[in-house]
Each structure stands twice: as structure tokens, then as C-alpha cells.
Amino acid sequence: MTLRLHFHPLSSYCHKVLIALYENETPFEKEIVDLGNEASAAAFRKLSPAGKMPVLRDEARSETVPESSIIIEYLGRHYPGRIALIPGDADLALRTRLADRFYDCYVHDPVQRIVGDRLRPAGKGDPFGVETEKARLRRAYDLINQDMASRSWAVGEVFTLADCAAAAPLFYAGKLVPFADSHRNLAAYFERLTRRPSYARVLEEARPYLSMFPG
């Protein structure tokens, strides 16, 4: 097998790439990284000195590709499937990349900061910082709710990179700052994401690990 994804089933950024791989039924092998295991962590850092997941290793091309959005672009360029997750139309591609950055910066990032605070030692938390991040999430919810009043997916009527980016952070965000009752359009969008076979598969594979999430 030429492609190997180094990942963890609980990682939201890893979910993003898994959705893309499953959408296009791209053949690949999985390598679960356990950063709590010295041998696994050391092996991974040889591949990725930054120590961030996911990382795609393409043996056929002797390429090591980090960062979830870049991995998905790489797959679209070198291993295209039935769905172009970055549309060919230049303007729509730009909107897709913008929406991808929105979900990474304004949903993913606050979720990770809130979770990070929960993992701090007792007495070392930052309540003010947590409330600030929750407020950022609520502002993001407002924007998504407005957009989803008139579209099915993140940038329109086609499933794209932006939807891969949206699914996992919304899953975790909803556990930290619920939106089902307050943002109905957003909730309906998230329901569509969870019914998408690619993301449903990712969630099923993550199920044994979800008890580790401090939410």
C-alpha cells in the first residue's frame, strides 16, 4: 500500500482527513499513534518533528505530508477520486478554502483551548480564558446558523473540504457549548454531516475512544 495515514481515532484534525479518504474510497493503511507510548511517540517524531497529527506518508512518491488541509489538497492532486473536495471553479475553490480556515480557526481552535484547560492540573485552570473561547464559539455558531439558512453544505450544494473541516469540531463543540436548541440551522447542518456515510464511519471508528474526551 502506497499511502499510510499516521493518526489517532480521537483527533478531530485526523477525522478531517479520514472523511476525505472515505469520501473518495481512497486505498490507504492506518498507523495509530499513541503519544503516551514512548516507542510510538519516538517513531512518530522521526516522521514528524513537530509531533502534530495527522501525517500522510506516500511511499510511491517518497513524500511526507503534514497538516490536514494540505493532505486533502495533496490527495486531490495526486490521488483524485469521484468527488473534487476542492472545486475546479476558482471562485468556489477560494470560498471553500476560506470556509476551511473559518472552521479551523473559529471552531476548532476554541474547542482545543477549552479542552486544553480541562486537562490542566487542579488549580491551574483559566476560567476567564475558557469563557472567552466559549464566546468565540457562540459567535461562530451565529455565523454558521445564518449561512445554513440557505444552503445544504458549507459553501453551497456540494460537499467539499470545508465540510470535512466542519464535522469533527462541531461534534466536540456541541459537547462543550450545546447548539441544538439555540441554532436550529446549524443543528440541521450537523445532522446532515453525521448522516454522511464518510463521517458516520469516522464516528463509529472513534466510538471506543470517546470516553477519553474530557467533555
What DSSP string runs through 171-195? HHHHHHS--TTT-HHHHHHHHHHHH
User: Residue 199: CA atoms inside 13 Å, Cβ hemisphere, count?
Assistant: 23
* 121, three cell numbers: 492540573
Phi–psi pair at 4, nearest 5 degrees: -135, 125
**Residue 1: its pLDDT value, please?**
60
Q: How many CB atoms lie within 10 A of CB 1?
A: 9
**Residue 43: its pLDDT value, please?**
87
Mean predicted lDDT score pLDDT of the chain: 95
Model confidence, pTM? 0.95
Q: What is the mean pLDDT of residues 37-48?
A: 88
Q: What is the mean pLDDT of residues 147-156?
A: 97
d(CA 130, CA 215): 13
d(CA 69, CA 17): 8
β-pairing, 63-66 vs 55-58, is antiparallel
Sorted by where each starts, the structural domains of the chain and their CATH numbers stand as 3-78 (3.40.30.10), 90-196 (1.20.1050.10)
Contact in structure between 69 and 26 (CB atoms under 8 Å): no
- The position carrying cell 457562540 is 138
**Residue 174: its pLDDT value, please?**
97
Is omega for the bond preceding 54 within 30 degrees of 0, making it cis? yes
